[in-house]
Structure 1
């Protein structure tokens, strides 16, 4: 069955379901009565800022959006961000270099500058390569909600959001008015998987609010046995030779319209040979100047100081690569409400990036540093009509080294009683970063650009039940690709533009919530588009290295008692392909990885004692241990999957008001 036949079949089923609901479009537009707002509707009617500066609800916002609430995070017992992303349509976790894991989205490797990840407004993408390391990194038990765009965000967020955006908001920054402490332990049969803990304190007032949080932990990448791709070394017990250790300190203060936030983040990880460190400091100062009821002006200053991808010998500690990357950014944004049905947002940005070699000083073609200068203009208008909402936006950005990029955005969305639809077209770009430019083949690279078409239709059959399906086609040109050859003194690496890549597919979500239970079922299907990037392709197959064509997830929760909940979940992925061995010439060979079914379960008991909650569960109950393959031909065999992990969680919260 072809891709278009699959899309037609799903769309036909959706239309049939809508007709079965005995309400056509005309009758829906004429309905006056509507049911009382259910728990599901409260979630759907949240205003989501991540996909639009104008903050529409999830069913009308101009993007394909997922929102994960604190309730769902707490009930799921998720160990890390990867556990949560696997439950979201289109997302997967794959391997980069040195056992660092990153994001795959809609069938494509998206970790290097294609997905923007923000934590309380701080972009977690490092400045050298624009990657985001996952693993045992983010303070999962401190999160208030996660807003996700499964689609382009460049018109709003710039050159790090070509395929998607993940916006993480912590409880301390969002809603905490008291003190909270939490701890997590993960245990395999023969090893300790992780020990994490954190403390948060915050006070919210009408004029003055502040928050402070600390999160730290220790973990391993896996407890499996690993043989390198070229079989040059001994089989390694990864529980003894890998690490995954996070530290995060986060503080913010707001007085009326003036806000400041500072953050220090460190993530240390390793493979059997090499240790890798990502450190960064971030500061943000901005002022929401409410000129009048219609006009708001927001000047903003940001500063980044990072030591990303510092690596060296795991045993000796000798550092082989150490670069300081900094950014100073200034921005002014204007928001104007023309009327109840029309509003516009516009802004201007200027920022400078600099990379400085902290070792031998000749990394940047004989120079000690490399400096980049950028300026950008962006705008977005929202126009509401009884038939549809129209969103029109653009972004223009120019860099002193790689030139200019212009991307438009057009969206038509509407919720008409129980029915909603979205028709979306966006261009998006991936801006070359410091190292992309520094080691560019022949001295220059272009911005990567994508055309993305998306369509979504959804229907709320009852106040407790919603079904939605979306289709997408992504075409990426001038694809930025890393290449390398040789070893030791003869090692050479570079970046270059390939002609094209991309993917196409569809995603479906069925969400139902009762008084004492809820459940979400998702299905994702993606195939490779026209592709010239050889390091991604699987010969004879319409999918990229490391990715499954089909993914099914189920996340359910049952309130067994008023304070006790039970949360079973599962993730199924069809077969994948990965570089797993070498041929007689020493060249990596692609092999097939079998489908897997992850089955997880978690029990959570709230207020065992006043303010004290406990939870316990197991991940990968069937002990299938799905491996984590590299998303390209990078010289690494798949990381062996973790064995069954037993998880225990404790949290205590004291509310200042009480």
Structure 2
């Protein structure tokens, strides 16, 4: 009974708190700051656009927000996005097929169209399944900041942002005005974990700017030498020799006054012991920010994506078993109208066409070589500022020629009153079926899945350097898009499909405690999530347990940094995850069976030396110092054993930057 009314109690507490504050609101608003802005306040007061498209501070924007700075990434020595996301409340990493790793969020598998991942405005969710392969893929050393919504973003971003949004902004596209080179080496006791490097350059003037990033790397998925697959189709394998995780990214941006253009090519190659997987993506984006009046900004844009994602085949012979080109042509118009300092509205329309083409000439698309989807969407969001609260009201309507229409509203109340802030959020969000979801739909038909998401956040800044925030969430997802298969390739009986299952979701809470001093800072987080009791997706279920396959209920992280001298910093991090359940064996009938994965504590440490010579930085550290090697399980019953966790990795980083004169 207590659990049933947990969120009603939180809402009641919030309203009573708001009433108490409003009684003397005028006097609170008239108080002057009694200290200079602290480093923490500078971060909190920096506007973010990822949640509302109208810049608001992290404490007032209508979403549960995490912002990760270049300083934090550099200090932690993060090797890839896995290291970054593991320190964010609610996020984890699980295995998909063929040792491809994807995102889990708030206790649920979120890799297929539930989390939108963007870099410099370009979406990395591929068009066939809406997945995003992560791992040794993104150039973390070239990142200026990462803005994350831990919650739905469909009302603004559409059908790939049902549970969350990750927005990566590179240094070259944002702050860099010069040339920089960087490199990372990761070394296990008996294998090279990764060798990555890149160069970035940017020149910014009042009228014309350009930026360029080039990143390439070579890595492995794991260095473990005694890996056995679940079905035991092959013998014990040395993963340092039969797996790879090799990225490449080329990123060019041009801007002349209000006209901007960006093009990007991204390639990521990975493999398990028997199968290679390749993702190739090409993006172009042209937009013009037209200041129609002092109050109206109109931004038309054209986008084109050309991808060959999820190509896979035999690792030894490199013969392809699946090879499809997916393209998207998109036209969009956004507009922002400011009625006053206290009211504004963002609105727009989108049309795009997706096309899949079978490159193996096998008639993949129901006997045809191609499949086309046509989408039209309209969205609007209003922001109204009042002395009691900021109100955000929005919606998105989207219609597709194959799966029909989806309508999702969004309502948010937020406010920062001196040291206290609150957020009350309700959003509907949807996951749009993609090309392959529709192509292999059971009985030829699937619907968009739709989620109702309730969130409440309370926060208090105890001192200019110290903040505590706590949020609770409840996610109910209906018409869940689920993959299914049966039979075998060996006898030609293999079948696969997508279908809608009735219900899934999770509920829980997240807490963040931040303290930032001149000489040190620390971020302590706690995440708790539990599966909905009436979940109908059997492949996610752990019988008798209130958590899904591959996920821990509890996660605690501590990220600390000490500036030993103005140039030298030491950054230890700690990550605790409670027990998980995974398919690690076969039962007496030869079917995958669940077992328990023990809790683990990851201990990492990194030492940074800035400006060893002017512009030259050097860093070194170790990941998984205690060598606990946590495995990475599949987030569903897909027939794959957990990836054997990589051992202690020693990391070295170097970078050198020359700034242009203004």
Is the Cα contact below 8 Å between 1:571 and 1:599 reproduced in 2?
yes
Which position in structure 2 is the counterpart of 1:456?
Answer: 457
Residues 2 and 97 of structure 1: is their aligned pair in 2 closer, same or farther, counting only changes over 3 Å? farther
Which position in structure 1 is the counterpart of 2:653?
Answer: 649
Rounded to whole Å, the distance in 1 between the matches of 2:623 and 2:613 is 26
User: CA RMSD for the aligned pairs?
Assistant: 1.8
Rounded to whole Å, the distance in 1 between the matches of 2:243 and 2:535 is 35
Rounded to whole Å, the distance in 2 between the matches of 1:254 and 1:324 is 30
* Post-superposition offset of 1:233: 1.9
Residue 381, structure 1, aligned to residue 355, structure 2 = no
Rounded to whole Å, the distance in 2 between the matches of 1:2 and 1:613 is 53
Rounded to whole Å, the distance in 2 between the matches of 1:207 and 1:74 is 31
Rounded to whole Å, the distance in 2 between the matches of 1:250 and 1:234 is 41
Which position in structure 2 is the counterpart of 1:270?
Answer: 271
> Which stretches in structure 1 are left out of the alignment for 5+ residues?
none
* Post-superposition offset of 1:24: 6.0
Rounded to whole Å, the distance in 1 between the matches of 2:75 and 2:2 is 38
Which position in structure 1 is the counterpart of 2:32?
Answer: 33
Is the Cα contact below 8 Å between 1:506 and 1:526 reproduced in 2?
yes
Give 1:142-181 correspondences, 5 Å limit.
142-181=142-181
Which position in structure 1 is the counterpart of 2:638?
Answer: 634
Residue 494, structure 1, aligned to residue 493, structure 2 = no
Give 1:415-430 correspondences, 5 Å limit.
415-430=416-431
* Post-superposition offset of 1:33: 1.9
Is the Cα contact below 8 Å between 1:614 and 1:650 reproduced in 2?
yes
Q: Deviations over 1:230-284 (max 9, x none)?
A: 2232110100000000000000000010000000000000000000000010000
Rounded to whole Å, the distance in 2 between the matches of 1:638 and 1:420 is 41
Is the Cα contact below 8 Å between 1:299 and 1:331 reproduced in 2?
yes
Residue 602, structure 1, aligned to residue 606, structure 2 = yes
- Partner of 2:156, secondary structure, is helix
* Post-superposition offset of 1:12: 12
* Post-superposition offset of 1:15: 12
Is the Cα contact below 8 Å between 1:175 and 1:204 reproduced in 2?
no
Which position in structure 2 is the counterpart of 1:111?
Answer: 111
Pick from 501, 504, 508 the counterpart of residue 505 of structure 1. Answer: 508
Pick from 509, 518, 523 the counterpart of residue 520 of structure 1. Answer: 523
Q: Deviations over 1:519-574 (max 9, x none)?
A: 00000000001300000000000000000000000000000011000000010000
Residue 574, structure 1, aligned to residue 578, structure 2 = yes
Residues 359 and 2 of structure 1: is their aligned pair in 2 closer, same or farther, counting only changes over 3 Å? farther
Give 1:41-120 correspondences, 5 Å limit.
41-120=41-120
Rounded to whole Å, the distance in 2 between the matches of 1:234 and 1:516 is 52
Off by >2 Å, runs of 4+ in structure 1: 1-16, 23-29
- Partner of 1:317, secondary structure, is coil
* Post-superposition offset of 1:14: 11
Rounded to whole Å, the distance in 1 between the matches of 2:25 and 2:144 is 35
Which position in structure 2 is the counterpart of 1:403?
Answer: 404
Residues 7 and 444 of structure 1: is their aligned pair in 2 closer, same or farther, counting only changes over 3 Å? closer
> Which stretches in structure 2 are left out of the alignment for 5+ residues?
none
Which position in structure 2 is the counterpart of 1:282?
Answer: 283
Which position in structure 1 is the counterpart of 2:189?
Answer: 189
**Count of residue correspondences:** 654
* Post-superposition offset of 1:36: 2.1
Q: Deviations over 1:407-442 (max 9, x none)?
A: 000000000000000000000000000000000000
- Partner of 2:483, secondary structure, is strand
TM-score normalized by structure 1?
0.97
Residue 478, structure 1, aligned to residue 479, structure 2 = yes
Is the Cα contact below 8 Å between 1:267 and 1:278 reproduced in 2?
yes
